[in-house]
Amino acid sequence: MAVRTPSHSDRNPAARGIDRQNVLKGRRVVVADDSASQRRRLCEIFEALGMIVIGEAANGLEALAIVEKTRPDLIALDVIMPVMHGVETLGYIREANNLAYVIYVSAMGNLEALMEVKAAGGYAPDAIFSKKDSAETFLEVLTSVFLGEEDTSRSPQSKSAEEAGSTSGGRAVS
């Protein structure tokens, strides 16, 4: 259940003329997750979307070192990691004026609650995904992120979960 945070279209104003089918192709990604199997799954999803995984990290500190050297277009962060968690890592990324898009990929049950915590005093990611989200959900939401769109199309699964009154996320935030 992906949650989309407010648009940062000023980072990519020319993106509106790009073909939606190819907007993610060639985008450079860094993946940070303490679970090797989850990193592998995320890498497979990003590569299937035509993105290029340029670095993998097991914690936020490793991610910062990779980001500094590689300047990716997208950084995918697990929220809970050893050494430095994703929320703290995002703060350092933003304080360094890095313009990469940053997403959280979390196993936490209530992603909306996480967004509220971040809105109360800190940096918000460009989108939040559940570790259970499909490649199609990543495609839809990331395309909207890179195009700077305010609203996000969600997969039918996310929409039905929301309609069923789920409290585990899935609501687009604009």
Q: What is the pLDDT of residues 89-128, one digit of tens each?
A: 998 998 887 889 999 998 865 556 566 555 555 678 888 8
pTM > 0.85: yes or no: no
Q: Which helix (H) or strand (E) holds 112?
A: helix 111-119
Q: Decide which of 111 and 16 is more confident.
A: 111
Please give the DSSP secondary-structure letter assigned to residue 152: -
Q: How far apart are CA 118 and CA 34, in angstroms?
A: 21
Q: Is the dihedral of CA 67, 103, 17, 52 positive or negative?
A: positive
Token code pair at residue 8: 């940062």
Residue 27 has what pLDDT? 96
Q: How far apart are CA 142 and CA 49, in angstroms?
A: 10
Coil, strand or helix: which one is 45?
helix
Mean pLDDT score, 15-34: 82
Choose the CATH number for 23-163 among 3.40.630.10, 3.20.20.60, 3.30.70.20, 3.40.50.2300: 3.40.50.2300
Q: Is the dihedral of CA 160, 164, 168, 173 positive or negative?
A: positive
Q: How far apart are CA 90 and CA 117, in angstroms?
A: 14
Please give the DSSP secondary-structure letter assigned to residue 42: H
pLDDT band at 87 (very low <50, low <70, confident <90, very high): confident
Provide the strand spans (E) within 43-173.
52-57, 74-78, 101-106, 127-130
Q: Domain locations in the chain?
A: 23-163
Q: Decide which of 123 and 165 is more confident.
A: 123
Q: How far apart are CA 171 and CA 152, in angstroms?
A: 9
> For residues 52 and 29, is the Cβ–Cβ distance under 8 A?
yes
Q: How far apart are CA 106 and CA 124, in angstroms?
A: 14
Tokens 């990779």, located at residue: 66
